[in-house]
Structure 1
Amino acid sequence: MSDIVLSKGIRSNLLSLIDTAGLRDQTQNRLSTGKRVNTALDNPGNYFSASQLNGRAADITNLLDGIGNAVQTLQAADNGIRSIIKVVENAQAIARQAQGSASTQARLNGVTPKLAGVPTALTAQTSLSSYGFTVGDTITLSTGTTVNATTLTIAAGMTVGDLVNAINNNTSAAAATGAGVLIGTGTGADARASLTPDGRLLMEATGVQPLQITVTPSGTSTAPAVAAALAGIGFDATNSSQPAGKANQTRTDISVQFGELRRQIDQLAKDAGYNGVNLLNADTLQAMFNEKQSSSLTITGARISTDRDLAIKPASNNFQTDKDINDALADLTFAMNKLRAQSSAFGSNLALVQIRQKFTQEMANTLKTGADNLTLADMNEEGANMLALQTRQQLSTQALSLANQADQGVLRLFS
């Protein structure tokens, strides 16, 4: 080719065609890829900036899987708690049903106490001495034909609450208010004591035994005095003893149902896990929010079980006494409050994780948009460029043809 001599006009038009073809190829590449910066040669600054933005967007997008798992784990825990709340509500309903079925065990249901002749409700803080009991008097609650008895020897400052605790504790190791004085005995009465809402002292046998309360005077007291003191707190000769009762089958059946509901609560808590993490079994969940692992949320679960955080004890004495039912209802109320508080905590964490999930999605989109702004081609502009280049190519071809005609004129001189 170096031996062929081209005229100035032809060479100029050839160079123009080559430039146009190069620009056309570049425009076609932009139209096919949608980018005006495809390699570092196109625009080094924009290319590497866009690469960094796209890289961070990819890292953040990868975090979305972990955040999504955190959302599902929290939702699984919340579903478990809401289901457990329904079971606890059911347990409350059947406990109240048992309460509505009158106890058939022996029970000493004292009348409204009188203080100085005035009806006065008892409280746990009511002083026994205010009703005439003196230091050294002995209150005994006995059950059964082979007597099991709880004995409380009055010491200074003792209250109705001490008497209730003596009956319910039934242990010689429980110290009373008075120094060195013991509440109860190792073979205490098979009974429960409580204060009714209207301030009466209620004592109930836990089995089918007779029940009796008596007072033995101290050396400085008399039998009439202690009898008057006993009557003062609601028990005179007519209601200080009751014959053996019988078990209430309705309450027994309900206690069995109560036990099954406790089991279902534990099973629900065990089944509330997601992807190997169970927040109702005190597992820990960590949600990572940025690619540097410097932003995260750690969520610690709770041990939602009847013998741990919920503290719902088994039905005592087959629910034969009102106190046992009231204790169960108190446990259920505590458990309900615990569940609602934990549900609120999980709900707050769930809302926060969902906020971060949306933020992460939007941040990844912002980064990708920024990278696209640096590299994407304007398709309208590139389409117009392609049309202009095609026109220029056609014109250059025509110009090359005209330049070539000059050489052909010289050829005609020799023909």
Structure 2
Amino acid sequence: MASLLTNGSAMTALQNLTATIRKLDETQTRISSGLRVGKAEDNAAYWSIATTMRSDTGALSTVKDALGLGSATIDVAYTGMNSAIEAVKEIKNKLVAARQPGVDRDKIQSEITELQRQLVSIGSTSVFSGENWISVDSSQAGYSDTKTIVASFSRSNGEIAIGTITVSIQTMKLYDAADQSGILDLKDTATNGGVEYSVATLNIAALTNSQADIEDLEQMIAWVDGAVSKMTDSAASLGAVKQRVTLQQDFVSSLMDAITRGVGTLVDADMNEESTRLQALQVQQQLGIQSLSIANQNSQNILALFKG
């Protein structure tokens, strides 16, 4: 039935055109944003998962930064320890040279004193971001001989967990201003005269060629050699921790990439598919406009019947 008041064909054509325009807008939004799910209304479940995982990726990025900071701190401590080992080995060499009767032990002591000063300088300057692991003061408020590095972030059943790498500096500190319990300022009392000394304070200038003084000198050599051994063990421990931190950095980077790929699978738009759909919808839009135009011609045909 033809009617001037109700044009069913035009209404249907308009509805189809409106639906096509809506789909066209969605496709253009996906192409411009690159996202198939950009808002919760697109797909609430996928949007929720993607938002949470993006948040976790941000936390992992912070973990990666913390690992970088920890790695640098370990590297500085390791560098300081290595330099200190070389200086202490040189002190041992000087003491061995002083064992020879007839040498000027006072001049040898002047060389040892400079090496001792160098050790103090190494210990005090091995600092990164306010952290010094080889020259400490255990009497300071809040001091702990256990250092931690943030190493991981995980989520399970809605609960989050922060993982850390723990490093004990109790056996690797060279100096401790509080109680002189470091490797270099720890005192030995095994000399014949009962004189206390440490690697940092030993002095051979007054030693003679007497049997007692020679025995004391040999004890000093053994004490310094023991310090080198302890420092070598500490450097090895720092190297092992450094390797673990490096491996964890690589893992965190790979994990972030994997999460990003997973989120992309859920919410990223397939640009090939979307561009094909865009072309199809543009054709449908043109056809819809033509259909609406044809449907509107019916009213004009009715008017023509009344023309004389």
Fold match (TM-score > 0.5): yes
**1:339 to 2:227 alignment:** no
Give the residue type in structure 2 aligned to 1:65: D
Structure 2: stretches of 5+ with no match in the other structure:
137-144, 154-159, 185-197
1:177 matched residue in structure 2: none
1:264 matched residue in structure 2: 118
Q: SS in structure 2 opposite 1:316?
A: coil
Distance in 1 of aligned mates of 2:230 and 2:113: 20
Query: Looking at CA atoms only, which structure, 1 or 2, has the larger radius of gyration?
Result: 1
Counterpart mapping for 1:45-194 below 5 A: 45-99=45-99, 102-103=101-102
Give the residue type in structure 1 aligned to 2:175: S
Q: SS in structure 1 opposite 2:31?
A: helix
Write the deviation string for residues 4-50 of structure 1: whole angstroms up to 9, x where unpaired: 83422211111111001100111111111111112221111111122
Instruction: Decide whether the 8 Å contact of 1:77 with 1:273 is kept in 2.
Output: yes
Instruction: Decide whether the 8 Å contact of 1:67 with 1:289 is kept in 2.
Output: yes
Q: SS in structure 1 opposite 2:132?
A: coil
**1:304 to 2:174 alignment:** yes
Instruction: Decide whether the 8 Å contact of 2:27 with 2:278 is kept in 1.
Output: yes
Q: SS in structure 2 opposite 1:278?
A: coil
Q: SS in structure 2 opposite 1:289?
A: strand
Q: SS in structure 2 opposite 1:298?
A: strand
2:202 matched residue in structure 1: 314
Distance in 2 of aligned mates of 1:265 and 1:26: 69
Q: Which segment drifts farther, 15-24 or 351-360?
A: 351-360
TM superposition shift of 1:373: 1.5
Instruction: Decide whether the 8 Å contact of 1:288 with 1:297 is kept in 2.
Output: yes
TM superposition shift of 1:324: 4.9
Report the count of equivalent residues.
Answer: 266
Write the deviation string for residues 94-145 of structure 1: whole angstroms up to 9, x where unpaired: 3344445x42xxxxxxxxxxxxxxxxxxxxxxxxxxxxxxxxxxxxxxxxxx
Distance in 1 of aligned mates of 2:206 and 2:42: 85
Distance in 1 of aligned mates of 2:89 and 2:13: 92
Counterpart mapping for 1:388-403 below 5 A: 388-403=280-295
Instruction: Decide whether the 8 Å contact of 1:99 with 1:325 is kept in 2.
Output: yes
Instruction: Decide whether the 8 Å contact of 2:87 with 2:115 is kept in 1.
Output: yes
Counterpart mapping for 1:357-372 below 5 A: 357-372=249-264
Structure 1: stretches of 5+ with no match in the other structure:
104-247
Percentage identity across aligned positions? 26
More strand by share: 1
Q: SS in structure 2 opposite 1:31?
A: helix
Task: Tell me: CA distance 1:97–1:316, structure 2 relative to 1, closer, same or farther (3 Å).
Answer: closer
Instruction: Decide whether the 8 Å contact of 1:315 with 1:328 is kept in 2.
Output: no
Instruction: Decide whether the 8 Å contact of 1:255 with 1:318 is kept in 2.
Output: no
> Equivalent of 2:151, from 276, 289, 295?
289
**1:374 to 2:249 alignment:** no
Q: Whose RCO is larger (CA < 8 A, sep 6+)?
A: 2
1:330 matched residue in structure 2: 222
More helix by share: 2
Write the deviation string for residues 298-345 of structure 1: whole angstroms up to 9, x where unpaired: 212132139631341512344544545433332331121111100001
Distance in 2 of aligned mates of 1:392 and 1:264: 82
Write the deviation string for residues 238-281 of structure 1: whole angstroms up to 9, x where unpaired: xxxxxxxxxx5x32111111022112112211211211221113
Report the aligned-residue RMSD.
2.3
2:301 matched residue in structure 1: 409
Instruction: Decide whether the 8 Å contact of 2:105 with 2:205 is kept in 1.
Output: no
Q: Which segment drifts farther, 369-378 or 56-65?
A: 56-65
Distance in 2 of aligned mates of 1:7 and 1:293: 65
Distance in 2 of aligned mates of 1:303 and 1:27: 63
2:128 matched residue in structure 1: 274
Q: SS in structure 2 opposite 1:23?
A: helix
Give the residue type in structure 1 aligned to 2:147: L
Give the residue type in structure 1 aligned to 2:278: M
What TM-score results when the alignment is normalised by the length of structure 2? 0.78
Distance in 2 of aligned mates of 1:33 and 1:355: 35
Distance in 2 of aligned mates of 1:324 and 1:258: 16
Distance in 1 of aligned mates of 2:98 and 2:5: 117
Distance in 2 of aligned mates of 1:78 and 1:89: 16
Instruction: Decide whether the 8 Å contact of 2:77 with 2:134 is kept in 1.
Output: yes
Instruction: Decide whether the 8 Å contact of 2:183 with 2:231 is kept in 1.
Output: no
Instruction: Decide whether the 8 Å contact of 1:53 with 1:367 is kept in 2.
Output: yes
Give the residue type in structure 2 aligned to 1:315: N
